[in-house]
C-alpha cells in the first residue's frame, strides 16, 4: 500500500512506542524506509567528491559546478596535508607542521639571502640545519608520555582505556549531564523504595535482570524515608512476599494501583522474562509481579476477568498523571499514578496507621520530605492514589477527567 512520504500518520522504522495503543499497516521495508534512506545517504557519504547543490527541481547553475569542483580540490589537498582528517589533535599537529615548515623555509631563505644565494655547500648545509632546528623533535614523545600518564590516572579510577584517542575527546569535555545510571546504560528502571504511609518503607534488593520479579530480596521497615539513617538505607534481609501480603490490605491496594494504573506488561515466556511498555511502567509492573499481583492476573480481555477496565485517562505532560477506571463485582474504582505534587491536588484524604485521615498541609509537607529523601538517593519518585466511585460508569459516556480525578485517597510513593 504505497503512501506519500510526507503523510503525518506514518510511523518511521526503528521508532519506539512507549505509550498508548494502536494498529498499523506496513507500507515500506528495508532500504525504502526513512532509516534506509539515511543508511543510503551515509553509504554515499564516503565519496570524496563534493555534491553539486541543486534546486528543488534538480537543476543547478554553472557556478555550482565550479563551487563543487573547488571544494573537492580543497578537500583533496587538505587530506594530503592532513589538516581535515584524523582527530582534532592530529589536525592541529598537521597545521603546526605546516606552520613550522613555512618558518623553516623562511629561515632558510634568510640564510641564503644573507650569503647572496651562494651555492657553497657550507651555506646550503647551514640553511638546511637552520630550517630543521624549527622542528620540535621531542613533541611526539611528549604527547605519548602525556597520553600514557592520563591513561594511568584513569585506570586508578577503574576506567578501561582501549584507545588513546578517547583521552583526547574526553579532555575536551567540560560538563557531563546524564540520567540515572540504570537508565543510561540499560534503558531500564527498577523500583527500589516504595513507601506506604500506613505500613512503612519497602526495599527491593539488587538483581542482575531488572525485569525479572523473582530476583532481589524484599524487605520492610516501619521507618519513613526521611527518618532513615545511612545504615538503614542499605538493603536488609528479605522476606517472602506471602508474609508481606498477609493481612495487609493497604499493600494490596497499593499493588492494585501499581498493576492496573499501568500500560506495561510483564510475562514469562519459556523461562525468560519479557516486558513491553514505558520503562517507568515496566518497573512498577515488575514490582507488582514480585507479589504475583501483576496486571495479567487481574485484568484481561476474557469475560471472567476479575477487574474490567471501563475508562482510561492517559498521561499528559501538562497534567503529569494518568488514571483508569476499573469495575469488579459491581464496584467501580479509580486508580491514579503521577507526579507527587499533581497527585496532592487530587487527594483529600490519606491512609495512616490510625486510619483514613484528612490530607492536611502538615501531612503534605511530611510527604514532600519523604519524597526529597528518596530523591536524594537518586530515585525518581511517583505517587499513587485511588478512590471508589458511587456507581458504575457508562463506557459510551465517559465522565470528565476533573470529576474522576478528585477526592482521591493518597496511597503512597514509589522510588525508582
Q: Are residues 152 and 249 in the same domain?
A: no
Based on the fold, state whether residues 310 and 227 are members of the same structural domain.
yes
Residue 5 belongs to a domain: no
Q: Are 78 and 85 in contact (CB under 8 A)?
A: yes
Query: Same domain, yes or no, for 225 and 362?
Result: yes
Give percent of the chain above pLDDT 70: 87
**Per-residue pLDDT at 61 exceeds 50:** yes
**Contact 125/108 with Cβ under 8 angstroms?**
no
CATH classification of the domain holding 330: 3.40.1110.10
Residue 38 lies in a domain: no
Q: Are the C-beta atoms of residues 149 and 142 closer than 8 Å to each other?
A: no
The tens digit of pLDDT for each residue in 277-334 reads 888 899 999 999 888 888 888 877 666 778 888 889 988 888 899 999 999 887 899 9
Is residue 36 in a domain? no
Alpha-carbon torsion 302, 305, 308, 312, what sign?
negative
In this prediction, residue 239 carries a pLDDT of: 62
Most confident range (mean pLDDT) of 60-64, 178-182, 236-240 is 60-64
Q: What is the pTM of this model?
A: 0.61
Angle at alpha carbon of residue 310, lines to 307 and 313, rounded to 5°? 115
Give the separation between CA 281 and CA 324, rounded to whole angstroms: 14
Is 184 part of any domain?
no
Non-local (6+) Cβ contacts of 241 within 8 A are 218, 290, 291, 292
Q: Both 251 and 325 in a single domain?
A: yes
In a domain, 11, yes or no: no
The answer, yes or no, to whether residue 128 has pLDDT greater than 70, is: yes
| Co-location of 202 and 273 in the same domain | yes
Q: What single DSSP character describes residue 270?
A: T
Q: Are residues 321 and 403 in the same domain?
A: yes
Q: Which of 336, 324, 243, 236 is nearest to 291 (CA)?
A: 243
What is the C-alpha to C-alpha distance for residues 264 and 133, in angstroms, rounded to an integer? 70
Length of the chain, in residues = 416
Nearest partner of 224 among 201, 199, 205, judged by Cα: 201
If asked whether residues 98 and 223 sit together in one domain, one would say no
Q: How many domains does the chain have?
A: 2
Q: What span, in angstroms and rounded, lies between the C-alpha atoms of 111 and 107?
A: 6
- Please indicate, yes or no, if residue 360 is contained in any of the structural domains: yes
Looking at residue 120, what is its pLDDT? Answer: 76
Residue 31 has pLDDT above 80, yes or no: no
- Judge if 256 and 334 occupy the same domain: yes
Question: Domain check: are 226 and 115 in the same one?
Answer: no
Could you list the residue range(s) of the whole structural domain that residue 99 is in? 88-171
pLDDT for residue 233 is more than 60: no
Same-domain pairing of 355 and 210: yes
Residue 185 has pLDDT above 60, yes or no: no
pLDDT higher at 118 or 4: 118
Are 265 and 232 in contact by the 8 Å Cβ rule? The answer is no
Q: Does one domain contain both 303 and 211?
A: yes
In this structure, the number of other CB atoms found within 10 A of the CB of residue 35 comes to: 14
Q: Do residues 225 and 292 share a domain? A: yes
Of 171, 204, 239, which residue constitutes the final position of a domain?
171
pLDDT at 246 over 90: no
Between 266 and 118, the higher pLDDT residue: 266
Choose between 187 and 69: higher pLDDT: 69
The pLDDT confidence band at residue 1, using thresholds 50, 70 and 90, is very low
Residue with the bigger pLDDT between 331 and 119: it is 331
Select from 153, 107, 100, 155 the least CA-distant residue to 128. Answer: 107
The residues that are catalytic are: 179
Q: What percent of the chain has pLDDT over 90?
A: 21
Residue 71 to residues 3, 50, 67, 74, 102, Cα–Cα distance (Å):
38, 7, 6, 5, 24
Within a domain: residue 39? no
Contacts of residue 133, Cβ cutoff 8 Å, sequence gap at least 6: 107
Four-residue CA torsion sign, 345, 348, 351, 352: positive
Q: Which residue has the higher pLDDT, 263 or 246?
A: 263
DSSP string, 392-415: ---TTSPPPHHHHSSSEEEEEEEE
Last residue of a domain, one of 112, 142, 171: 171
Task: Evaluate whether residue 321 is within a structural domain.
Answer: yes
Going by the DSSP 8-state scheme, the letter that residue 136 receives in this structure is -
**Of 143, 171, 199, which residue is a domain's last?**
171
Query: What is the pLDDT confidence band of residue 182, given thresholds at 50, 70 and 90?
Result: low
Amino acid at each position: 500500500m504505497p503512501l506519500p512520504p510526507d503523510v503525518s500518520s506514518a510511523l518511521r522504522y526503528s521508532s519506539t512506542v512507549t505509550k498508548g495503543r494502536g494498529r498499523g499497516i506496513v507500507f515500506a521495508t528495508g532500504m525504502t524506509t526513512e532509516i534506509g534512506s539515511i543508511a543510503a545517504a551515509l553509504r554515499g557519504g564516503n565519496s570524496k567528491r563534493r555534491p553539486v547543490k541543486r534546486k528543488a527541481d534538480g537543476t543547478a547553475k554553472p557556478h555550482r559546478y565550479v563551487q563543487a569542483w573547488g571544494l573537492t580540490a580543497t578537500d583533496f589537498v587538505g587530506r594530503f596535508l592532513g589538516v581535515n582528517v584524523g582527530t582534532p589533535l592530529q589536525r592541529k599537529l598537521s597545521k603546526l607542521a605546516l606552520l613550522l615548515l613555512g618558518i623553516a623555509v623562511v629561515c632558510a631563505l634568510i640564510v641564503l639571502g644573507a650569503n647572496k644565494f651562494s651555492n657553497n655547500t657550507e651555506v646550503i648545509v647551514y640553511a638546511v640545519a637552520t630550517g630543521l632546528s624549527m622542528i620540535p623533535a621531542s613533541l611526539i614523545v611528549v604527547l605519548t608520555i602525556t597520553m600514557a600518564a592520563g591513561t594511568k590516572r584513569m585506570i586508578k579510577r577503574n576506567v578501561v582505556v582501549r584507545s588513546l584517542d578517547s583521552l583526547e575527546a574526553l579532555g575536551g569535555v567540560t560538563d557531563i549531564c546524564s540520567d540515572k545510571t540504570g537508565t543510561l546504560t540499560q534503558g531500564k528502571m527498577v523500583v527500589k523504595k516504595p513507601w506506604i504511609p500506613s505500613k512503612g518503607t519497602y526495599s527491593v534488593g539488587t538483581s542482575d535482570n531488572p525485569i525479572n520479579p523473582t530476583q532481589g530480596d524484599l524487605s520492610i521497615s516501619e521507618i519513613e524515608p526521611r527518618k532513615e539513617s545511612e545504615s538503614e538505607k542499605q538493603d536488609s534481609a528479605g522476606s517472602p512476599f506471602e508474609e508481606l501480603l498477609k493481612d495487609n490490605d493497604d499493600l494490596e491496594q497499593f499493588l492494585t494501583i501499581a498493576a492496573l494504573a499501568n500500560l506495561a506488561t510483564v510475562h514469562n515466556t519459556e523461562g525468560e522474562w519479557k516486558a513491553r511498555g514505558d520503562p517507568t511502567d515496566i518497573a512498577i509492573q515488575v514490582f507488582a509481579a514480585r507479589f504475583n499481583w501483576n496486571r495479567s492476573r487481574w485484568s484481561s480481555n476474557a469475560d471472567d476477568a476479575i477487574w474490567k477496565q471501563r475508562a482510561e485517562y492517559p498521561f499528559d505532560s501538562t497534567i503529569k498523571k494518568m488514571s483508569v477506571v476499573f469495575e469488579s463485582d459491581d464496584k467501580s474504582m479509580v486508580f491514579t499514578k503521577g507526579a507527587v505534587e499533581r497527585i496532592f491536588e487530587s487527594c483529600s484524604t490519606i491512609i495512616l496507621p490510625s486510619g483514613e485521615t484528612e490530607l492536611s498541609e502538615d501531612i503534605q509537607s511530611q510527604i514532600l520530605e519523604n519524597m526529597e529523601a528518596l530523591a536524594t538517593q537518586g530515585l525518581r519518585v511517583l505517587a499513587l492514589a485511588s478512590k471508589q466511585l458511587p456507581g458504575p460508569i457508562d463506557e459510551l459516556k465517559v465522565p470528565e477527567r476533573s470529576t474522576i480525578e478528585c477526592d482521591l485517597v493518597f496511597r503512597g510513593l514509589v522510588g525508582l
